[in-house]
Every structure is written in C-alpha cells, then in structure tokens.
Amino acid sequence: MTETDIRDIVIIGGGASGALTAWNLAVRHGVTCTVIDPSERPGFGLAYSTPSLQNLLNVAAKGMSADPDDPDHFLRWLHDNAPGSVAPGEFVPRAIYGLYLRNLYSIAAPEHERQAAVACRRLDRGFEITLADGRKIHAGRVVLGCGHFDPARLPGIPPELDVTGRYRHNAWAERVFAGIAVYDEVAVIGTGLTTVDVLLRLRENGHRGRVTALSRRGLFPERHADYTPLPAPVFTPGGIEPTARAYLRAFHGALKRGADWRAAVDSMRSVTNALWLMLPDAEKIRFQRHLLRRWEVVRHRMAAHIADILDQERRAGSLRVLDGRVTAIAPDNDGLTITAVAGEEEFSLRAAHVINCTGPSLKYKRVDAPLLHDLFEQGEIMPGFGDAGLSCTPDGALIDHAGKIADDLFVVGPARQGVLLESIAIPEIRCQAKEVAEMLVNGNAP
Ligand SMILES: Cc1cc2nc3c(=O)[nH]c(=O)nc-3n(C[C@H](O)[C@H](O)[C@H](O)COP(=O)(O)OP(=O)(O)OC[C@H]3O[C@@H](n4cnc5c(N)ncnc54)[C@H](O)[C@@H]3O)c2cc1C
C-alpha cells in the first residue's frame, strides 16, 4: 500500500449528508477529508439532483440554511448567487438547493474518489475500504452518508414486470418517463411527495393523459400556509406519559385550546426526537401503526402553489385519487392491469404505465448495496428499530452486533431513522453533520 492510499477521515456518500459533513470539517476545523461517491459532481444526492424547476423544496428558504448557527446562510447565498430576489418564505426549486450544496462541497474541497465503496473491513487500527474498481483505501475513521436506496419491491409485483417497459419500479431512475406518450393513462402507486414530483415532471414533459394515484388512504400531503409560530412546543418530554395515546391526547388538547394546527405541528420539531426516544418499543410500534401516516401528511407539507396545481388537476379529472392497496399488476398486450384492495373490496383498473412512487427504501438489510451487506456480514452494523436504517446512538456512533458503540464509525442522515423519528430533512442533517465533524476532530459532540 502506498502512502497516498492512507486517509484519516473518509466519508462514504457525497449527497447532502456527505457534503455537509465535509463542509463542517473544512470550515469549522480546517480538516480536509476524502469523499467516496460514484457521482461525477458530488453534493446533490438524490433529492437535489432533479433537473426540474417545478420540484420545489418543501421547506421555505429561510428554513434551509446548511449552518445551524447561521439561519440566514442559504438566504445570503441565494441573494449572492440566484438571479432576482427570493423572499425568506419562498419555496425555491430543489435544483437550486442542489447548487448551494454543490457550492459548499466545492468550498470543502475534499479528495474525491469517484467510485462506489463495495466493502469496508475493520483492521487493528482503522478500516480498509474496497472501491468498485478494486482499489483499496486505508481510512482512520469512516462516516456513512449513504442515504436513500431504490424503493423496496412491492408484494405482488415481481421484478420481471420491469422488463415489460411499462412498470417503473424507481420514480427517480434516469429514463423513468421514456416511452410515455402524451395521452397515455398513467397509474402511480403512492400519494406522497414522490407522487407530487412525478406528476409535475410528467406535465412538464408534455404528458396530458389521466394520472391515477393509488394509496392505502388516498391522502396527499397538506399544504403550507402562513401562521404565527407558537412560543414553545405544545407539549414537551417532561411530565408526559410516554405512550402514543398520551401524545395524541396532548396534541389534540392544544388544538382544542385554539392552537393553529400547522403552528402546533411545527412547534413539535425541536422535541420530536426526544419524545420518540422516550417511547418504549411497543409504543413506537403503536405510533407507527396508527399515527405515523397521519403525522407525515401534516408534517411534510407542500408549497401552496404546488397544492393549487394538484387541486386544479383533481377538479379537472386529469388526476384521480383512489384508496387502495395494490396487490398485483399483470401485463397484457398494450398495458397493465392493476389489482387493488380497499377495505374488503377488490377492484382493478388499467393503465398504459405504472410508476412506483412509494419512496426510497431505508430497510438497509434488503437494499442492493454490497457495502452494507459486507458491513452487516461482519457485524459492524445492525439494522435499527423496525429494520429501518442502522442501529446507532442518537448522535450517530454506529452500534455493532455485540452492542459495542464505535468511536471511529459514524452515520449521518436518513440511516439514523434506526433510532430517531426525524432524521431525513436538512434541519436535522445540518446539525448531525456539525456534531459528527466535531466528534471526528475533538472526540466529543459540541
Ligand atoms: C425527493 C426528495 C425531496 C426532498 N425534499 C426535501 C426538502 O424540500 N427539504 C428538506 O429539508 N429535505 C428534503 N428531503 C430530505 C433530504 O434532504 C434528504 O433526505 C437528504 O438529501 C439526504 O441526503 P443523503 O446525502 O443522506 O442521501 P442521498 O441523497 O441518497 O445521497 C447519498 C449518496 O451516497 C452515495 N452512496 C451510496 N452508497 C454508496 C457507496 N457504497 N459508495 C459510495 N457512495 C455511495 C450515493 O451515490 C449518493 O450520492 C427530500 C428527500 C427526497 C428524497
């Protein structure tokens, strides 16, 4: 092994999590790291590499600073770099946010290995990382920022369906819209923000046919609207019974006392993870089963302008929303027949194309990722609660199969959903990136 193969801090994944960790290391600590990512231009990751200016952030510009200590950082960047003026309450295109992340990545100027990491072996000191081209790197400490993977396969939809060219398993695949004619009937599975993205992209590409969205509850995310923020969360971890029912009751109590629902939901952001960590496992399961989807619909809201487009489409009948769990999809000569179940009733519909919009998978044990399989096999990482993400401490130190907390292997980003409820969006990732950088340099969180 040559000397240049030895790196101190290596980040695997160059999306938002990797870029922000590299940026914190560089600007706060003057430390340069290595980022491994197959992308030619890291920084964007899945969410911010959309080319569409129609795909907007679901958080207003004033909430998207990369620096938790400098809330106006993104607004200043926009002022200096984007044409025209952007109001703090505006929802800017995700593509623009991608340029911001890319800019921060460039400032950090990490060494970039343009490869996927396929294995990571613990040595007596540090790790040996194998790249897809067979080269090996020796790393002192490793941060996993691997983020999102292809959606999980749905029961009743075999992989062979992909070869028909009519079923798209991954809504973010490069050529997902190829072959869809202007008036083709399209069905999408899911009614979350991925479906919103896909509908807007279809229309942007000139598609005029009817789109049918199917999901268990047929609920789209709610819309953003102005409100006066509450001075404090509507309830806090102290003095509340740690049960899903008690949380629901406390929340409803605040609404009954007159709190605006959006203000109440957003007031909880700073205490969500603390409340989640207090819940015993059985209560977490209860929350996930009965409340999570309802919470997500009010918590992950869409910009009002986008909600207007959806309402218009629904009124015009060009967007149809059906309650139903898809149980099977079968190809025929010129399309697909979708079978779904709503309550006790089974029904079917036809479409020329189906796009799976169920969102990226965080069930890391099941995703197609040699690096993760390798780490699972060695017992260096374990799945998190409910098989989501990875088992780690709330501040991102990974926990191995024997329950040992690593001091040289960390995770930033969505994979922390193995322990936290909120770990996907920028307001959490920016704090995680700052804290992990601090731990890597000084050995303790700020
Ligand atoms: C469609 C969408 C819209 C969103 N909108 C918002 C929003 O408006 N506001 C907000 O706050 N949050 C939003 N989020 C959440 C959010 O910002 C993301 O969760 C965040 O970008 C996660 O970044 P990441 O780097 O962890 O993961 P990713 O973006 O998935 O990036 C991971 C990177 O790791 C690389 N990688 C994976 N495995 C390996 C490997 N073995 N070797 C090398 N590289 C590897 C991948 O190539 C990729 O580049 C959105 C998320 C999605 C999916």
How many Å lie between the centroid of ligand 1 and the Cα of residue 15? 5
N-terminal to C-terminal alpha carbon distance within the chain: 35
How many Å lie between the centroid of ligand 1 and the Cα of residue 188? 22
How many Å lie between the centroid of ligand 1 and the Cα of residue 46? 5
CA distance 149 to 157: 18
Average pLDDT value for residue range 126-132? 96
Query: Is 236 within the bounds of a domain?
Result: no
* Residue of 48, 146, 416 with the most ligand 1 atoms within 8 Å of its CB, for mutation: 146
Q: What is the mean pLDDT of the chain?
A: 94
pLDDT band at 127 (very low <50, low <70, confident <90, very high): very high
Nearest alpha carbon, ligand 1 atom 34: 13
Share of the chain above pLDDT 90, in %: 87
Choose between 267 and 5: higher pLDDT.
267
Choose between 437 and 83: higher pLDDT.
437
Nearest alpha carbon, ligand 1 atom 17: 425
pLDDT band at 121 (very low <50, low <70, confident <90, very high): very high
The atom of ligand 1 lying closest to the CA of 19 is 25
How many Å lie between the centroid of ligand 1 and the Cα of residue 159? 24
Query: Is 143 within the bounds of a domain?
Result: yes
Query: Is 291 within the bounds of a domain?
Result: yes
The atom of ligand 1 lying closest to the CA of 36 is 43
Residues 283 and 312 in one domain: no
**Considering only CA atoms, which of 174, 170, 152, 150 is closest in space to residue 162?**
170
How many Å lie between the centroid of ligand 1 and the Cα of residue 13? 9
Query: Is 108 within the bounds of a domain?
Result: yes
Query: Is 239 within the bounds of a domain?
Result: no
**Considering only CA atoms, which of 12, 6, 293 is closest in space to residue 136?**
6
Query: Is 425 within the bounds of a domain?
Result: yes
**Considering only CA atoms, which of 27, 44, 35 is closest in space to residue 101?**
44
CA distance 326 to 218: 12
Q: Which residues contact 331 (CB under 8 A, 6 or more apart)?
A: 161, 164, 166, 167
Nearest alpha carbon, ligand 1 atom 52: 47
Secondary structure (DSSP) of 233-287: -SS-STTS-SSHHHHHHHHHHHHHTT--HHHHHHHTTTTHHHHHHHS-HHHHHHH
Total Cβ atoms within 10 A of residue 16: 30
Residues 253 and 326 in one domain: no
pLDDT(69) > 80:
yes
**Considering only CA atoms, which of 358, 226, 229, 221 is closest in space to residue 302?**
221
Instruction: Give how far Cα 291 sits from Cα of 201, 202, 234, 285, 357, Å.
Output: 30, 31, 17, 10, 21
How many Å lie between the centroid of ligand 1 and the Cα of residue 14? 9
* C-beta of residue 271 within 8 angstroms of C-beta of residue 318: no
How many Å lie between the centroid of ligand 1 and the Cα of residue 358? 16
DSSP 228: P
Q: Is 15 exposed, middle or buried (0-12, 13-18, 19+ CB in 10 A)?
A: buried
The atom of ligand 1 lying closest to the CA of 132 is 42
* Residue of 17, 142, 358 with the most ligand 1 atoms within 8 Å of its CB, for mutation: 17
How many Å lie between the centroid of ligand 1 and the Cα of residue 294? 24
pLDDT (0 to 100) of residue 74: 98
Residues 212 and 348 in one domain: yes
* C-beta of residue 303 within 8 angstroms of C-beta of residue 58: yes
* C-beta of residue 26 within 8 angstroms of C-beta of residue 109: yes
Residues 186 and 333 in one domain: yes
pLDDT(5) > 70:
no
Query: Is 276 within the bounds of a domain?
Result: yes
Kindly report, residue by residue over 93-114, the tens digit of the pLDDT: 999 999 999 999 999 999 999 9
Among the candidates 356, 375, 394, a domain finishes at 356
CA distance 86 to 78: 7
CATH code where residue 64 lies: 3.50.50.60
pLDDT band at 155 (very low <50, low <70, confident <90, very high): confident
Residues 321 and 295 in one domain: no
How many Å lie between the centroid of ligand 1 and the Cα of residue 166? 27
CA distance 96 to 419: 31
Residues 66 and 197 in one domain: no
Residues 115 and 24 in one domain: yes
pLDDT (0 to 100) of residue 2: 42
Q: Which domain holds residue 421?
A: 3-149+361-442
The atom of ligand 1 lying closest to the CA of 415 is 26
Share of the chain above pLDDT 70, in %: 98
Q: How many CA atoms lie within 13 A of 399 on its CB side?
A: 17
Average pLDDT value for residue range 316-327? 96
Residues 183 and 41 in one domain: no
Residues 41 and 99 in one domain: yes
CA distance 243 to 306: 35
CA distance 113 to 131: 9
Q: Which residues line ligand 1 (CB under 6 A)?
A: 12-18, 36-39, 45-47, 57-59, 94, 116-117, 145-148, 197, 360, 369, 371, 413-414, 424-426
State the amino acid at position 278 in one-letter form: M
Among the candidates 288, 321, 356, a domain finishes at 356
Q: How do beta strands 325-331 and 405-411 pair?
A: unpaired
CA distance 368 to 153: 11
Kindly report, residue by residue over 169-179, the tens digit of the pLDDT: 999 988 899 99
How many Å lie between the centroid of ligand 1 and the Cα of residue 249? 34
pLDDT (0 to 100) of residue 246: 97
Residues 182 and 324 in one domain: yes
**CA angle, corner 119, sides to 117 and 125, nearest 5?**
105
* Residue of 148, 416, 423 with the most ligand 1 atoms within 8 Å of its CB, for mutation: 148
Average pLDDT value for residue range 380-399? 96
Instruction: Give the tokens for residue 161.
Output: 């369906």
Total Cβ atoms within 10 A of residue 280: 10
Chain centre distance of CA 300: 11
Q: Is the dihedral of CA 304, 222, 195, 49 positive or negative?
A: positive
Nearest alpha carbon, ligand 1 atom 53: 47
Chain centre distance of CA 192: 12
Residues 116 and 217 in one domain: no
Instruction: Give how far Cα 315 sits from Cα of 127, 138, 174, Å.
Output: 57, 58, 31
pLDDT(1) > 50:
no
Kindly report, residue by residue over 267-303, the tens digit of the pLDDT: 999 999 999 999 999 999 999 999 999 999 999 999 9
Nearest alpha carbon, ligand 1 atom 4: 47
Average pLDDT value for residue range 220-228? 94
The atom of ligand 1 lying closest to the CA of 148 is 30
Place of tokens 């989807």: 293
Residues 58 and 83 in one domain: yes
CA distance 94 to 396: 26
- DSSP alpha helices (H): ranges in 30-164? 73-81, 94-108
How many Å lie between the centroid of ligand 1 and the Cα of residue 399? 22
pLDDT(4) > 50:
no
pLDDT(80) > 50:
yes
Secondary structure (DSSP) of 29-47: H----EEE-SSSSTT-TTT
Query: Is 100 within the bounds of a domain?
Result: yes
Average pLDDT value for residue range 2-14? 79
Secondary structure (DSSP) of 196-223: HHHHHHHHHTT--S-EEEEESS-PPPPB
How many Å lie between the centroid of ligand 1 and the Cα of residue 45? 5
Total of domains in the chain: 3
pLDDT (0 to 100) of residue 72: 97
Rg (CA), the chain: 22
The atom of ligand 1 lying closest to the CA of 369 is 41
